[in-house]
Amino acid sequence: MIFRQLFDRESSTYTYLLADPKTRRAALIDPVLENLERDLALVRELGLELTHVLETHVHADHVTAGGLLRQRTGAKTVVSERGGAECASRHVGDGDRVALGELEIEVRATPGHTNGCLSYVVRDGARTLAFTGDALLVRGCGRTDFQQGDSRTLYRSVRDQLYTLPDDTEVFPGHDYRGHTTTTIAEEKAHNPRLATKIGEAEFVRMMAELKLANPKLMDVAVPANLACGGAK
């Protein structure tokens, strides 16, 4: 598998490029509008054909490049069937598959941060990679206090959909604010201060209720834009 991890400094968002080395078909996960030209340049340099743009959820802290990438390349935009973005090319749910030539991406529904959160799981030889959006971060998780978020739902999503993956699964989050790039399922089971396996559901719900976070600065702009695939047809 061809794989690149890209970063947006303004929103601390990770964008991921995945491609099948045989067919050269590629997908971008969570592209950021301001990095459109960077991402397209990388696709061209690697000799790839961008066929899919996958969103882990409707983001509140940046505007997606998905609609413009579809306009520029013909790639299909893929979102959750529960996310509310009716503009997308394809709506997927738990257990669906997205094919990039011989490379297959498994869709796992991981709601809780928002009601339409998805994680994407890829098996590449002996490696298992999970792109978890905001459901599971490095030593953390996404907040649950807007966009139909729910702490109990998130707790169960992580336990049932992510912690059932092999312990050596490499986890690639949607964001990081402290300089981490990746983790593993085993590390998060042991060390995540909110979601370690020793932490019960009631304790997690209490911790999330006590966060009292301010809304993301771009929330009023980003959410409606992303419900419209970034504003491009």
Alpha carbon distance 32, 28 (integer Å):
10
pTM: 0.97
**Number of structural domains the chain divides into:** 1
Q: pLDDT, tens digit, for every residue of 158-176?
A: 999 999 999 999 999 999 9
Catalytic residue among 8, 39, 134, 176: 134
Respond yes or no: is residue 57 known to be catalytic.
Answer: yes
| 139 Rama sector, left if φ>0, alpha if ψ -120 to 50, beta otherwise | left
Respond yes or no: is residue 175 known to be catalytic.
Answer: yes
- In-domain check, residue 221: no
Domain that holds residue 140: 2-212
Respond yes or no: is residue 52 known to be catalytic.
Answer: no
What is the C-alpha radius of gyration for the chain, rounded to an integer number of angstroms?
17
Q: What is the CATH number of the domain that holds 19?
A: 3.60.15.10
Average pLDDT estimate for 47-76:
97
- In-domain check, residue 130: yes
Residue 218, pLDDT score? 86
Respond yes or no: is residue 96 known to be catalytic.
Answer: no
Q: pLDDT, tens digit, for every residue of 19-43?
A: 999 999 999 999 999 999 999 999 9
Alpha carbon distance 120, 55 (integer Å):
10
- In-domain check, residue 179: yes
Respond yes or no: is residue 30 known to be catalytic.
Answer: no
